[in-house]
Amino acid sequence: MDTTIFETTESQVRSYCRSWPTVFTSASGSILTDEQGKEYIDFFSGAGALNYGHNNPELRAELLNYFSSDALVHSLDMMTPAKREFLTTFKEVILDPRGLGYKVMFPGPTGTNTVETALKLARKVTGRQHILSFTNAFHGMTLGSLSVTGNSMKRQGAGMPLTNSSKIPYDNYLDGETADFLWLERVLEDSGSGVDKPAAIIVETVQGEGGLNAARAEWLRGLRELTQRHDILLIVDDVQAGCGRTGTFFSFEEAGIVPDIVCVSKSISGYGLPMALTLFSHELDVWAPGEHNGTFRGNNPAFVTATAALRRYWADDSFQSGHLAKVIDTVQDALTKIAIEVEGTTVKGRGLLTGLYFRDPAVAGKVAAAGFEKGLLMETSGPQDEVLKLMPALTMDLVVLERGLNTLADCIAEVTG
């Protein structure tokens, strides 16, 4: 590896160059190519922002068409045809068929913006300040989203007290099989517990950064029932697990729950362009005009690719029950086989937000590094980076996928053998 390419840039940036020391020049589908012409299979997908692969040709065609016109690129909160088209398509293709009556808000460009918006809205609606979130949760890097993040190292980065939130155990944190929330109910009802009634509970159905912990459907249903009984808002952070990554458009569909507020970002634009949504029940729309605004909420190129992605992949269920189901089965079969063969490994996560836990935390990082050498891009997850994380594109070509999974098995054999 020619490390001289970083002589200037290494001191200037903080980036993934630390784990992937090369310069990527092009990308198509799930293959990236670097300056040396080496190809890499992408099991990272822009941290979940590229669910339909890089430079998806159909989405690109729509984008180029838009750019070649004089249509608005940036439009703050103004209405444009691109925005209107996205809103009507989202309603028609995603919300209506699922019986979801959400109002859609554009909270700003990124995941942390939608989480901040959700927390602020929940506090305004209820007049309460306390928020409950979960051990190992990850919700973003700005102060509000960091306050509900369950990762001590990341929280220390705030450099100031993060208040008005408490962490409670996520599903299976206590290795128990119970899905009832009796303990929480008691604590909430007990005026001597000192636990203030929360405005909301925020949850990921699969903890993407926190080690690919997947909540069971009955646990999520228990949480929904508890929050309803106690008049507490339920926020699902679907920034990473949403947009099809777990096999359905929203990750909470499998559990059959309807959250009060949903946070969406990462792959909603379909093309890796910054975009986020906050979805909430109509009766929660208590904002006064201008009370929660921002500059980059009208990213029209992102509306264009988002609309194209919804129409191409979600207008009927043929993609979900066809190619997406095949990609999920292929990945899950390969991981299950590895977990049976390699002692001390367990399959984690759900759908294509998945990976392998290694009893020896050092192994996951070593496998990711071996993968890079062999042309495979993978991240690690979990408090000790003990989980190897796989997030292939939902649209990944099955031949490329098999090749990547075979390389993964080789890397694991090399590191553990």
Closest CA to 300 of 117, 85, 56, 51: 85
- Does 240 engage in binding with ligand PMP (CB under 6 A)? yes
Q: Helices 182-189 and 217-229 meet at what angle, rounded to 10?
A: 20
- Does 204 engage in binding with ligand PMP (CB under 6 A)? yes
- Does 150 engage in binding with ligand PMP (CB under 6 A)? no
- Does 111 engage in binding with ligand PMP (CB under 6 A)? yes
Sheet holding 31-34, edge to edge: 24-28, 31-34, 39-42, 376-377
CA dihedral 80, 84, 90, 95 (to 10 degrees): 130
> In the range 262-281, which residues lie near ligand PMP by CB under 6 A?
265
Nearest approach in angstroms of CB 100 to ligand PMP is 20
Q: Which alpha helices (DSSP H) does 230-299 contain, by range? A: none
φ/ψ bin of 351: left (φ > 0), alpha (ψ from -120 to 50), beta (otherwise) = left
Q: Which among 213-221, 234-242, 322-330, 362-370 is the span making contact with ligand PMP, rule CB under 6 A?
A: 234-242
Q: How far apart are CA 211 and CA 143, in angstroms?
A: 22
Compose the 45-84 pattern: x for residues touching ligand PMP by CB under 6 A, - for all others. --x-------------------------------------
- Does 237 engage in binding with ligand PMP (CB under 6 A)? yes
List 314's β-bridge partners, or say none: none
> In the range 116-135, which residues lie near ligand PMP by CB under 6 A?
none
* Interacting residue with ligand PMP among 34, 116, 171, 209 (CB under 6 A): 209
* Interacting residue with ligand PMP among 44, 52, 86, 138 (CB under 6 A): 138
Nearest approach in angstroms of CB 251 to ligand PMP is 10
**Size of interface with ligand PMP, in residues (CB under 6 A):** 15
Alpha-carbon distances, residue 397 vs 29, 30, 41, 303, 393 (angstroms): 8, 8, 11, 26, 9
* Interacting residue with ligand PMP among 29, 108, 208, 355 (CB under 6 A): 208
Using the minimum distance from each CB to ligand PMP, give the nearer residue, 240 or 269: 240
Q: Which alpha helices (DSSP H) does 90-243 contain, by range? A: 111-126, 143-147, 152-156, 182-189, 217-229
Interaction site with ligand PMP (CB under 6 A): 47, 110-112, 115, 138-140, 204, 208-209, 237, 239-240, 265
